[in-house]
């Protein structure tokens, strides 16, 4: 079952707005928001929650003051600077603690507790465009990619159970852990970029990443008319790398207009900008080998 991940490298290129439009246009699919750190797709899709689960990941160290003798071994051994002393009392900064267990293991007094870390919630919901799997990481939690992996597994199970033929994912920004997790097992990465030096720089890094994981990829140039020369550079870059351009879209206030109304841009402006997005959608489906077009 094809799984398409919409990526951007750089934030703010319009990735989520396009994912929402594809969610509107695609048939017989499951939707998944893998940007668990700052998820926005739900603002357009307005999901009705059917199932919620707690997400735990790793552990965190907490010093039991009744047992601590103040020997300082934990502070000396913690590689992350998470242990500090205030007025002779040893404490662990939860933001810095990586949950590596070193202090737990080496504390001679057995004074360090190591409870599981509650990092967020996952959800399975229904939307006007079909089923959606999403999550919210608690602010400040570690985004290790495990929640992303969990959401991907849930989406697959759901798609199988419902007999859906396609999964469309809104990916995370960047190229680190969450993005690597969002690409694993995917069939196609669609990168949304913009014609700016940052956009091109980040696109190049996403291309390297997809090549590293041998994942087919296509590129959408959004807001191309902000800088035609830079667009040409992006397109040359794609041509040189053998990456297919799925379309270029102009800068259009309809994108923000739709967002403010909580609509997909293809609902908000079906004949104007929405028409252009439909052409891009058809290209995406073609590259993914899915027999759908609008």
Partner 1 sequence: MIVAVASGKGGTGKTTVSASLASVWDKGVTAVDLDVEEPNLHLFLKPEISGSAPANLETPVADESLCNLCRACSHFCQYKAITVMGKILMIFPEMCHGCGGCIAGCPQKALSAGSRELGEILWGKSGKIDFLMGRLRVGEAMSPPLMRLVKSRLSEMITVHPTDAIIDCPPGVSCPAINSVMDADVIVLVTEPTPFGFYDFKLAIEAFAPLEKPMGAVINRAGVGENSVYGFCAEKGIPILAEIPYDRAVAEAYSKGLVVAEASERMKTTFLGLAEKIRGLAGGKGAFRA
Question: Which helix (DSSP H) or strand (DSSP E) does residue 182 occupy?
Answer: helix 177-183
Tell me the closest approach of the beta carbon of residue 287 to partner 1, in angstroms.
23
Strand stretches in the chain, DSSP E: 3-7, 29-33, 48-59, 62-63, 83-86, 89-92, 112-113, 116-127, 130-137, 166-170, 188-193, 217-221, 244-248
- 132 binds ligand SF4, rule: CB under 6 A: no
Binding pattern for the stretch 222-261 against partner 1, x by CB under 8 A and - elsewhere: ----xx--x--------------------x-x--x--xx-
Binding pattern for the stretch 154-193 against partner 1, x by CB under 8 A and - elsewhere: -------------------xxxxx--x-------------
- The DSSP secondary-structure symbol of 253 reads T
- 226 binds ligand SF4, rule: CB under 6 A: no
What is the footprint of partner 1 within residues 105-144 (CB under 8 A)?
105-106, 137, 139-143
What is the footprint of partner 1 within residues 52-111 (CB under 8 A)?
58-59, 77, 79-80, 95-96, 98-102, 105-106
- 73 binds ligand SF4, rule: CB under 6 A: yes
Q: What is the dihedral of CA 250, 255, 4, 153, to 10 degrees?
A: 160
Q: Do strands 130-137 and 29-33 pair parallel, antiparallel, or not at all (unpaired)?
A: parallel
Contacts of 15 (CB under 8 A, 6+ apart): 6, 7, 8, 170, 171, 173, 192
- 217 binds ligand SF4, rule: CB under 6 A: no
Q: Give how many residues touch ligand SF4 by CB under 6 A.
A: 26
> On the CB side of 101, how many CA atoms lie within 13 Å of its CA?
6
Q: Concatenated DSSP letters for 198-245?
A: HHHHHHHHHHHHHHHTT--EEEEE-SGGG-HHHHHHHHHHHHHHTPEE
Q: Which stretch binds ligand SF4 (CB under 6 A): 39-47, 60-68, 118-126, 282-290?
A: 60-68
| Site residues (vs ligand SF4, CB under 6 A) | 61, 63, 68-74, 78, 80, 82-83, 90, 92, 97-103, 107, 109, 111-112
| Site residues (vs partner 1, CB under 8 A) | 8-13, 16, 37-38, 40, 43, 58-59, 77, 79-80, 95-96, 98-102, 105-106, 137, 139-143, 145, 173-177, 180, 194-198, 201-202, 205, 208-209, 212, 226-227, 230, 251, 253, 256, 259-260, 262
């Amino acid at each position: 079952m094809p799984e398409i991940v919409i990526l951007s490298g750089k934030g703010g290129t319009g990735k989520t707005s396009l994912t929402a439009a594809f969610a509107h246009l695609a048939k017989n699919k499951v939707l998944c928001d893998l940007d668990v750190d700052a998820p926005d797709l739900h603002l357009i899709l307005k999901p009705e929650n059917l199932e919620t689960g707690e997400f735990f990941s790793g552990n965190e160290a907490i010093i039991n003051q009744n047992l601590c003798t103040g020997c300082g071994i934990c502070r000396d051994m913690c590689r992350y600077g998470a242990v500090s002393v205030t007025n002779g009392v040893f404490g662990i900064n939860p933001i810095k603690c990586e949950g590596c267990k070193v202090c737990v293991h080496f504390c001679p007094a057995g004074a360090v507790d190591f409870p599981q870390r509650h990092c967020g919630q996952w959800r399975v919901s229904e939307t006007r465009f079909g089923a959606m799997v999403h999550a919210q990481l608690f602010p400040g939690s570690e985004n290790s990619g495990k929640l992303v992996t969990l959401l991907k597994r849930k989406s697959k199970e759901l798609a199988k159970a419902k007999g859906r033929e396609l999964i469309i994912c809104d990916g995370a920004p960047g190229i680190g852990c969450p993005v690597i997790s969002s690409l694993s097992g995917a069939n196609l990465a669609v990168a949304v970029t913009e014609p700016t030096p940052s956009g091109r720089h980040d696109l190049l890094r996403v291309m390297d990443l997809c090549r590293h994981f041998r994942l087919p990829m296509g590129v959408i140039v959004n807001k191309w008319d902000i800088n035609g020369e830079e667009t040409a550079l992006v397109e040359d870059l794609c041509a040189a790398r053998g990456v297919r351009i799925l379309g270029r879209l102009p800068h259009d206030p309809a994108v923000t207009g739709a967002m403010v109304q909580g609509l997909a841009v293809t609902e908000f402006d079906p004949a104007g900008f929405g028409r252009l997005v439909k052409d891009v959608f058809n290209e995406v489906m073609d590259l993914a080998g899915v027999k759908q077009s609008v």
